[in-house]
Structure formats: structure tokens, C-alpha cells
Amino acid sequence: MVDGPFSLASALQARQEQGLLRARNCSAQVIGTRMVVDGREYINFSSNDYLGASQNPLIRSAWQAGLASWGAGSGASPLVTGYTAAHRELEEAIAEWLNVEAVMLFSSGFAANQAVIKSLLAAEHTVWQDRLNHASLQEAGSQHCCRMRRFRHNDLAHLAALLAPAQGLIVSEGVFSMDGDQAPCAGLQALARQSKNWWMLDDAHGLGVHGTNGRGTLAYQGVGSEQPDVLMATFGKALGTAGAFVAGRRELIDYLVNFSRDYVYSTHMPPAQAVATLAAVRWVQSADEPRAQLQAAVRRFRQGAHALGLPLLPSETAIQPLLVGDSLQAMTLADAMRARGFWISAMRPPTVPKGEARLRITLTAAHDEQQVDAMLQALVQEWSRCVHD
Ligand SMILES: *Cc1c(COP(=O)(O)O)cnc(C)c1O
């Protein structure tokens, strides 16, 4: 091979040697919680489809109806001709649901987080981020020209020590995607107000799942009356479709519509997707039954794991990590579970901190008791075989 400017082969080899090489697995078929990969069937304990919404008949048929009225795509970016009544209706429904002034849509949560951080913060600003914030937030903060300070996970005292008055944006997830625990929202809000900084909440894993009418982590914690300056969440998790929104005061949304290059120069989400997501937003508000089913699955898993002596992290949410530590052992355990028909992803650095490789088990409303019990039985046997000091 000709030497070029990029050392791809050696980067890949180094990852391989560290047990960190990643590859995609292609599902040939998905039926509820079951999926087929390479001709074998697995029970999926790795999806973020917490309420089973991706297979919901109402949402599926709304997508088909949207397709019939609007066609396959939006045809342009939102400031050209890609913004339709379907998008506006979804924005208004979210604003009403969450009691916010204004909402705008993005094709992905990754893009939404880039858009907010890159368009709000300039060189004289600072973004304060929880150490465990999602890669899309960290990436925007570290690649952009602003300063970034990271505070210890959920540590308000550490954040307070790093804050400077009126200089930027505090950012946290509502439910942390790799640990399943929740941010201290009232404390973040108080620190932001006292220091005259803004704060932003990424509630990708809380929206739809937690709080009255699925309003998310803020409602769950009783902090819903005063919203964060920037609220962001995605449609690809509990809502079952894809895409994301940013919500806040009208001025914030007008500003982003004008100044966010990630928004202005990107083809708008297909209107049919907005129609489907609107159906999901309406459905999720009264989805108390799937929310209760999810909580029952979480309880059953935690009680079972506790009885079997598995080391759980303190998470009450659908995200139930099992800390292994060593990346290779985490991989071996995930492979062993796969051989027994359970699909559970091993999370390794750089997705999680060094030495904190884990299995990230996610439970959903669609898992039944037998599936949870069978997974636990396999897990306890494979754990003793695969994990050691
Ligand atoms: C999934 C996720 C995102 C990214 O959203 P996509 O729509 O998948 O791009 C952003 N933040 C958090 C916390 C997430 O879990």
C-alpha cells in the first residue's frame, strides 16, 4: 500500500491490540425484542427503544400516512423550502407538552448538540460539562473555539468551584446514557441562576420515560416549573423514530435558526418522519402502561441481579450497567452472552472512562419476565466464567 497522509492501518491495529476494535453487526430482521443476526436469533438487551415505540402500530401507520401526503423527503434545508406544516405541527405539540415557548427540529441529536454549543459559545465563553456527558456534547465543546471545563460526575460543589459569573453554559444529561443515574437538576438550575450562566439539559434518555405524561427528568424531579435555558432531547429513544429537538425561549430558537450552520445548511428531516414523531409525542403522553411495564422489568432485573450477587450500579432507570472493568473481559462476557442468545453490548473506552468497561444492559417495556429471568440466569453463569481480577 502507498504511504499517504493518514495512518489508518496502524490506528486500526492499535485498537485491535487493546481489545477496542469496533465493528458493526447487521440485523437481518427485527421482531419486537428479538432480532436475527447472521441467521441466529437473539433477545435484544441493548436497544434504547424503551417503550417499544419503534414497533407501535399507531406510529408506524402515521409514518405511512405522512409518506402518502408529503412524499419521501423534505427536499431542502429548513430556510429554503424544507420547512413544512408537518414540522411546525410537531414543534407546536412539543412546546405545548413541555410548556416551553419554542421548539426547532434536527435530523439527529448529535447535530442538535453541535448546533447549540457551536452557535452560542464564542472564544470568550466557557462550557462546563459533566465528565460523563454524551460524546456529541463533549465533541462540540472540545472542537469548538470556546473553553471547556469538565466537572466531576454530578458533583455540584466541583462545578461551583469551576464556575465564573456570566460566562457561558452549564451542560448535563438528564439520565446518563452509560450509567443510568440522573443529574441533580434543581442544583444545576440554582447554580446557573446564582452565577448568571445558562444551563442546558440533554434529556435523550429521560423524555417519554420519566415524569408525569412522560415529560422527562425535570418533571420527574419536580423541577418542571422553571425550564432550563436550553432543553434538548432525541426522538430515537423512547419516542421510537429518529431526530431531535431543541427547546427554549423564542429568542433562542430565532437565534439558532439564523446562526446555526448545522441547522441552516442541512436538509430538513422528512415531513413523514415529523408526522410519525407527532403521533409518537401524542401517544407517549398517555403511555402509562408501557412506562409501568418498563419499571416492572427494571425492578425484576435489579432484584434478580442483587439476589445472584451481580455488581449493579445505583441506577433506577432502563439503563442497567454491569461494571466489569477490563475491556477484554467485558468483550468475552458479551460474546458468551451472545452465544447464549442474548444481545448485550460491551461499552469500552473511549465511550466510557478507562478501566470502566461494562455491559450496558437496557430493559424495555417489550421484555417479558421470562426473557429477563433467562438473561439473568445466563449472566450469572457467564460472569463467574469470564470475569476475574
Ligand atoms: C443518543 C444521544 C444523543 C444523540 O442523538 P442521536 O439522535 O442518536 O444523534 C445525544 N445525547 C444523548 C445523551 C444521547 O443519548
Residues 272, 303 within the same domain: no
Residue 72 pLDDT: 98
The answer on 115 and 162 residing in a single domain is yes
What is the per-residue pLDDT for 224? Answer: 73
Task: Assess whether the C-beta atom of 91 lies below 6 angstroms from ligand 1.
Answer: no
Asked if pLDDT for residue 145 goes beyond 90, the answer is no
The CATH number given to whatever domain includes residue 381 is 3.90.1150.10
Give 230's contacts (C-beta < 8 A, 6+ positions apart).
116, 120, 169, 198, 199, 200, 201, 246, 247, 248, 252
**31 and 80 both lie in a single domain:** no
Q: Is the residue at 14 inside a domain?
A: no
CB of 47 closer than 6 angstroms to any ligand 1 atom: no
Domain's final residue, options 257, 284, 311? 284
Query: Is the pTM of the predicted complex or chain greater than 0.75?
Result: yes
- Test site for ligand 1: of 171, 176, 177, most ligand atoms within 8 A of the Cβ: 177
How confident is the model over 36-51, as a mean pLDDT?
96
Q: How far apart (Å, rounded) are the C-alpha atoms in residues 146 and 302?
A: 41
Cα separation, 173 vs 311, whole angstroms: 24
For atom 5 of ligand 1, the residue with the nearest CA is: 109
Residue 144 has pLDDT above 90, yes or no: no
Q: Is residue 5 in a domain?
A: no
Give residue 141's pLDDT: 84
Determine, yes or no, domain membership for 7: no
**Whether 48 is catalytic:** yes
Q: Are 161 and 182 in contact (CB under 8 A)?
A: no
CA distances from 354 to 20, 158, 211, 347, 348 (A): 11, 21, 33, 11, 8
Q: Is 108 in the pocket of ligand 1 (CB under 6 A)?
A: yes
178 lines ligand 1 (CB under 6 A): no
Catalytic residue (choose from 134, 210, 268, 367): 134
Domain total in the chain: 2
Q: Which ligand 1 atom minimizes the distance to the CA of 237?
A: 1
pLDDT digits (tens, 9 = 90+) for 71-85: 999 999 999 999 999
Instruction: With respect to residue 187, please indicate whether it lies within any of the assigned structural domains.
Output: yes
Task: Let me know if 173 is a catalytic residue.
Answer: yes
- Atom 6 of ligand 1, nearest CA residue: 109
Looking at the CA of residue 244, tell me the nearest atom of ligand 1: 7
Looking at the structure, tell me whether residues 267 and 310 fall in a common domain.
no
| Ligand 1 within 6 A of CB of 244 | yes
The CATH number linked to 233 is 3.40.640.10
Q: Active-site residue among 237, 327, 356, 382?
A: 237
**Pick the catalytic residue: 130, 173, 203, 382?**
173
Last residue in a domain, options 284, 316, 337: 284
Ligand 1 close to Cβ of residue 134 (< 6 A): yes
Separation of alpha carbons 367 and 77, rounded Å = 39
Q: Is residue 129's pLDDT more than 90?
A: yes
Q: Are residues 313 and 361 in the same domain?
A: yes
Residue 205 annotated as catalytic: yes
177 is a catalytic site residue: yes
Please work out whether the CB of residue 334 comes within 6 Å of at least one atom of ligand 1: no
- For residues 168 and 205, membership in a common domain is answered with yes
Burial class (CB in 10 A: 0-12, 13-18, 19+), 251: exposed
Residue 63 pLDDT exceeds 70 = yes
Q: What is d(CA 201, CA 163) in angstroms, rounded to the nearest whole number?
A: 17
Output the 3-class SS for 280-333. HHHHHHCCHHHHHHHHHHHHHHHHHHHHCCCCECCCCCCEEEEEEECHHHHHHH
pLDDT in tens, 282-293: 999 999 999 999
Q: What average pLDDT does range 22-50 have in this prediction?
A: 94
pLDDT band at residue 351, thresholds of 50, 70 and 90? confident
Per the CB < 8 A criterion, the answer to whether 138 and 280 are in contact is no
Domain co-membership, 276 together with 156: yes
In contact, 118 and 106? CB cutoff 8 Å? no
Specify whether 42 is located in the same domain as 123: no
Looking at the structure, do residues 231 and 161 belong to the same domain, yes or no?
Answer: yes
State the average pLDDT over residues 148-166.
97
- Residue 89 inside a domain? The answer is yes
Query: Which residue among 284, 302, 317 closes a domain?
Result: 284
204 lines ligand 1 (CB under 6 A): yes
Say what the pLDDT of residue 226 is. 78
Please name the residue that has the C-alpha cell 458479551. 334
Q: What's the chain's average pLDDT? A: 95
Q: Would you say 202 and 129 are in contact if contact means Cβ atoms under 8 Å apart?
A: no
**pLDDT, tens digit, for every residue of 176-222?**
999 999 999 999 999 999 999 999 999 999 999 999 999 999 999 99
Residue 1 lies in a domain: no
- The reply to whether 235 and 145 lie within a common domain is yes
Instruction: Examine the domain organization and report whether 246 and 118 are in the same domain.
Output: yes
Range of the domain at 332: 21-51+287-386
Looking at residues 232-255, what average pLDDT do you find? 98
331 is a domain residue: yes
Closest residue to atom 8 of ligand 1, CA basis: 109
What lies within 8 Å, CB to CB, of 3 at 6+ separation is none
Question: Does 47 map to a domain?
Answer: yes
pLDDT at residue 316 greater than cutoff 60: yes
Query: Which of 4-18, 116-130, 284-298 has the least mean pLDDT?
Result: 4-18
| Residue 281 in grid coordinates | 409525542
**Confidence at 2, pLDDT banded by 50, 70, 90:** low
- The reply to whether 246 and 105 lie within a common domain is yes
